[in-house]
A and B are shown apart, each in its own frame.
Chain A
């Protein structure tokens, strides 16, 4: 049933539930961000990895590996 056809109490209840679960999702994601990504970020920094290519380099180019079209198109990654 479209939102506009719902009775007012149901519409309010739906909005409250939506806000609650959206808030819950935000809390869970924030918790995950600080608990899981923090140690990962520190480990990455300690390892000296330059995933975003922010350090000095002799060129801005990165070579691309030759791809076999069949293999290339079969996967999502």
Chain B
């Protein structure tokens, strides 16, 4: 039984293929088209998934789409009517997009996949999120909580899943309550993302990274925008927000009255705690003061978001009385909030699958069809995130040769690991391209840039010389699962499942902070990825080898891309990114390249997204 899940037409288009309940392949379209957050029809991701599964066009049993387009269209029309006459530009943009493409997704899928229309299924947006987490989790029963910007009408939902591994067992996933648009944690956070000068649906994690530089002195002002109820639910004070009628702006003048003038996009962010690195322009006291205000606003919205998420999670606990929680939706990528849920909401175990945002809906829709619709027993637990395309050693060598790269093929795995561990120990920054690329926004040891976490300077080096991004951005560690408790405050609990996918932030132990400064954020926290025996064997061996060499059982791991670009897919993309950055070495399969033997002569990159991102949050 082959079921393909598809998500598209909002952001982060993706496809996922399950065969007899086992996940075979899953990928975001951006990895193939090189357009970050590509929202187009995911032709290339679909072709990859079908190819990986050996499925020809017309051979699929079902295709499941991740939301209900007519319900979403109804919500947009209702919003335009109820906010008339302010919604004119939003209405025109929405009609062009919806009448031109989005309403016809059923026939598009039917034609593209050569399937009769009755084999095209639709799953509610939040149900797709919920299924993507619950049916990939190790739990037979679990509370389920989904939170994002908005789907059709819902922006958050809670319910319960009960599903069995036995033939004939009950397979049930029910969302019993929802919070409806325009009241939304995701849209609240995105409005502040825009206020702080970042792109919505992209820069939210930058707000999260900026928050620890500030004090939440505006928390009461942010709380004033939200009416909270005792049952964990909330409503927003909509006079401060514009996203429900404006295609360009997400907040009103009320924001400026409360928080001051917004931050200019692209402006330098510098506070007394941020690094200037090689920037010779010392900040004025006015610049420091202004930036501290932005950091304080970021800290405030982050704190209130954590309070809202925690309120919903505690309600999920109260309503389900389950020991387990599955989280999904874009808000479940907020690793700081996730860490608080794990520590404070009363659940023993918390599972989040790596593509918790909209791309994950493709997987969830397919799993919902297999388990809830067809009542098939569970077959799959997601313990690893490498579901994308891989390249053989021969393909890697051919691609590098074609680009004129000088490399050494180190076929002996032990020798390769020793060489890389030594490079890291010597303070070199290494591009690591191995196996299948990851599912979701995090690089987890397959398309990663690795460095020594012990170096104070390494954070600045990787931010500025390697990735050309803002110096305030933090880095995460990949840590051997058995070493995690030595470095991080786990409160005596076993490491949560979500930490495998770098989706939880933990405090670094006081006595260890000086030992691993490059992966300790300014507030002493760290967004950890645990690498256990169930994970990638080669990556685990590399970290172990680094531990043997240095005594430290973790490495700095950041995604293999430059600022504003999708994570690399092919060996050629890895080489181009290596040559365009300050990385010292690159490992593609067994091929080891060092910068000295590969002098940059011209820009190698042949792709670059030229499309302006859509600023609308709700279409």
Contact = CB atoms under 8 A, between A and B. Distances in A.
Interface in A4-48: 25-26, 29-30, 33-34, 37-38, 40-41, 44
Nearest to A60: B233
Interface string B156-190: 01010000000000000011111111110000000
A54 B353 CA distance: 33
A66 interface: yes
Contacts of B85: 34, 38, 41
Interface in B211-261: 227, 229, 231, 233-235, 238, 244
Given A44-B81, A59-B231, A69-B368, A77 B74 contact: yes
B179 A61 contact: yes
A38 B86 CA distance: 11
B124 interface: yes
Given A37-B84, A66-B174, A77-B71, A60 B373 contact: no
Given A69-B372, A76-B70, A26 B92 contact: yes
Interface in B84-140: 84-85, 88, 91-92, 95-96, 105-106, 118, 121-124, 127
B176 A64 contact: yes
Contacts of A72: 123-124, 127
A1 interface: no
B321 interface: no
B71 A63 contact: no
B296 to A, nearest CB: 27
A59 B229 contact: yes
A70 B374 CA distance: 9
B80 interface: yes
Q: Would you call the interface of chain B mostly helix, strand, loop, or mixed?
A: mixed
Contact of A76 (B81, B96, B106, B181): B106
A33 B238 CA distance: 23
A51 B92 contact: no
B229 A41 contact: no
Given A53-B183, A69-B373, A70-B373, A64 B178 contact: yes
B518 interface: no
B499 interface: no
B79 interface: yes
Nearest to A54: B238
A69 B79 CA distance: 28
A37 to B, nearest CB: 5
B105 to A, nearest CB: 8
Given A26-B92, A73-B373, A75-B68, A62 B178 contact: yes
A52 B82 contact: yes
Contacts of A70: 373
Contacts of A62: 177-180
Contact of A75 (B83, B122, B175): B122
A38 B84 contact: yes
B64 A73 contact: yes
A40 B373 CA distance: 38
Contacts of B180: 53, 62
B81 A37 contact: yes
Contacts of B71: 76-77
Nearest to A65: B176
Contacts of A76: 68-71, 105-106, 122
A73 B121 contact: yes
A58 B202 CA distance: 34
B369 interface: yes
B80 A60 contact: no
29 contacts: A25-B96, A26-B92, A29-B95, A38-B85, A40-B81, A41-B81, A51-B81, A52-B181, A52-B182, A54-B82, A58-B229, A60-B229, A60-B233, A61-B177, A61-B178, A61-B233, A62-B177, A62-B178, A63-B176, A64-B159, A69-B373, A70-B373, A73-B64, A73-B122, A73-B368, A73-B369, A76-B71, A76-B105, A76-B122
Given A30-B88, A52-B244, 5 more contacts: A29-B92, A38-B85, A54-B238, A60-B229, A63-B176
Interface of A: 25-26, 29-30, 33-34, 37-38, 40-41, 44, 51-54, 57-64, 66-67, 69-70, 72-77
Complex A-B, nearest 6 residue pairs according to Cβ-Cβ distance, in ascending order: A60-B233, A77-B70, A41-B84, A73-B121, A69-B373, A69-B372
